[in-house]
Each structure stands twice: as structure tokens, then as C-alpha cells.
Structure 1
Amino acid sequence: MTPARILVAEDHPMNLMFIEKLLAKQGYEVHTVTDGTEVLPALQRERFDLVLMDIAMPVMDGIEATRSVRQAGNMITDKNVPIIAMTAHAMKGDREQFLAAGMDDYIGKPINSDNLCNMLLKHLQRARRAAECASASSPA
């Protein structure tokens, strides 16, 4: 089985390096962007199994980027790609705001490797099951 392809949107160089190394060590294929404005073009060029999306990025934050991904007519093949918010400032009501924007879940920073691993497994398994169901129900 090919490794899952993960797009990481993170503007802080140290966080990006940490997450990239952590994911690569776990066997994932990692691609990175440093701003929300780069997410949409990346998802239009390539297919990813999951997106890790920083919330506080310059120019376009993670919430706005997620809304753009989920929007109809944007030339992204998989508008249902799981998007996991990453934030250092999780406050009451944030989870609801992230879900309302179209995100599937969130993880707090600093990133705990065990929590991230469990989160990825949960959402990647769900995404693979959905893809299998979609291909089984499509006409041959």
C-alpha cells in the first residue's frame, strides 16, 4: 500500500520542520505550504489524503483556506479531504468554529506525537473507507 499523502499548511519554520520530520518518520509522504493562499493551488495540482492546517497564518488563515477548499466550483477533485486544524490557542468555542468552517477535527500545539498519530490514523482510516464505498457503488 502506498503511504498516505499529507499536505501541511504551517507558517512557522520550526513547527513546520518538526511536523514534517515527525510525519516522515511515521512513513507518510509529506508536502508543505506556508500560507493559506497556497493550499487551494496545492489541492488543485495534487491529491492528498489529509491536510494539517495551521489556524493562524498570514494573508489567509486556516479557517478561510478551509472554506475555500470546501466551496463548490474550485477545481479541487476531493473537496471532502479530511482537514485537521492545528492551533496553539484553543479556547472554548474554537472547536465548533473549526467544524463550522468545514474542518474535521483539531489538535492543539505544541503537537504531541502520540495524539497526532492517533488523529491521523482515525481520519485516514475513515477517508479510505469512504473512498472504498464510493468506488464500490460507482457503475462499472
Structure 2
Amino acid sequence: TLQILLAEDNEINRFLAEELLKGLGHEVTTVQDGRQALDALARERFDVVLMDVQMPRMHGDEVTRRIRAGEAGDPNVPIVALTAYALKGDRERFLAAGMNDYLAKPIDMEELGRVLARIGSVGKGTE
């Protein structure tokens, strides 16, 4: 079981992703924007952050830079970008911003499981 922070501004996407994650047996905390994500990370520990890239007030890559700079919680928390716009070069841009991986929306169950399993195995090895 992973403690997951889901940062997604779209209510329907947030609901669907939360249901998928809970169905896989994970604990999920949801927020609607980058500011709320930083606040949640400052308050509690998460195993992974699923971060929508296109959010109001603060884009996912900006939130990621702030997390990596130590502004909220564990600066090494795994961050997975969620994006509906998986274009050539995006993966490199997300990784350059400090994200560990990315998932295209709509979220594919197998891909989600693979990413979470990899993050879960990495996290368990360092505790």
C-alpha cells in the first residue's frame, strides 16, 4: 500500500484516478492545485505524488521544482507527471523539471500499475 498524493484540478479526472488508486489498495489524498500540493506535502509524508502538469495557479513542473528545492516535505519524494499532452520532448522536459516518470491521460491501468510498482520497490529499498 502506497500513500499517494494526487494533484489534479479536473474534478472528473481526480475522481477517476482516486477510484483507480483506491481499487489497487492505495491510500489517496487529493488536492486541486499546486499550492495545495505543497501544503499537503508540508503536513504529511507521501510515497509518491501524481502531479497534473497543467494546473491553475501553479503548473506541475513549478511545484516539482519547489519540492526538489526543499520547500515542502521530502525533496526526494517520487513525482509522476500526469499529462493529456504527451508530445515528443515532454518526457525529457518532465525529467529535467525533477519528475521521476510520467503517465499520459486518460490513465492506462497497466501503465499505472507498472509505474507504482517500480516506485514502490524503490521506496521500500531505501527505508
TM-score in same-fold range (> 0.5): yes
For 1:94-113, list aligned pairs within 5 A. 94-113=90-109
SS of residue matched to 1:48: coil
Q: Give the 3-state SS of the residue equivalent to 1:37 in structure 2.
A: helix
- 2:68 pairs with 1:66: no
| Distance (Å, rounded) in 2 between the aligned partners of 1:49 and 1:75 | 14
- What corresponds to 1:23 in structure 2? 21
**1:130, distance to aligned residue in structure 2 (A):** 2.0
Question: Offset at 1:94?
Answer: 0.8
- In structure 1, the partner of 2:46 is 48
Amino acid of the residue matched to residue 29 of structure 1?
E
3-state secondary structure, aligned to 2:81: strand
TM-score computed with the length of structure 2 as normaliser: 0.96
SS in 2 for 1:111: coil
Candidates 57, 80, 83, aligned match of 1:84: 80
Larger radius of gyration: 1
Gaps of 5+ in 2: none
Give the TM-score of the pair, scaled to structure 1.
Answer: 0.88
Give the match's secondary structure for 1:106: strand
Aligned equivalents of 1:98 and 1:127: distance in 2? 20
| Pairwise CA distance, 1:11 | 0.4
Aligned residues: 127
SS for the counterpart of 1:102 is coil
State whether structure 2 residue 110 is matched by structure 1 residue 114.
yes
> Contact between 2:8 and 2:33, CA under 8 Å: does it hold in 1?
yes
Letter in 2 for 1:16: R
Percent of residue pairs bearing the same amino acid type? 50
Deviation sequence 1:70-98 (CA, Å, 0-9, x none): 004x252x211100001010111111110
Deviant stretches of 4+, over 4 Å: none
Secondary structure in 2 aligned to 1:117?
helix
Q: Show structure 1 runs of 5+ residues with no match.
A: 132-140
Question: One-letter code of the match for 2:84?
Answer: A
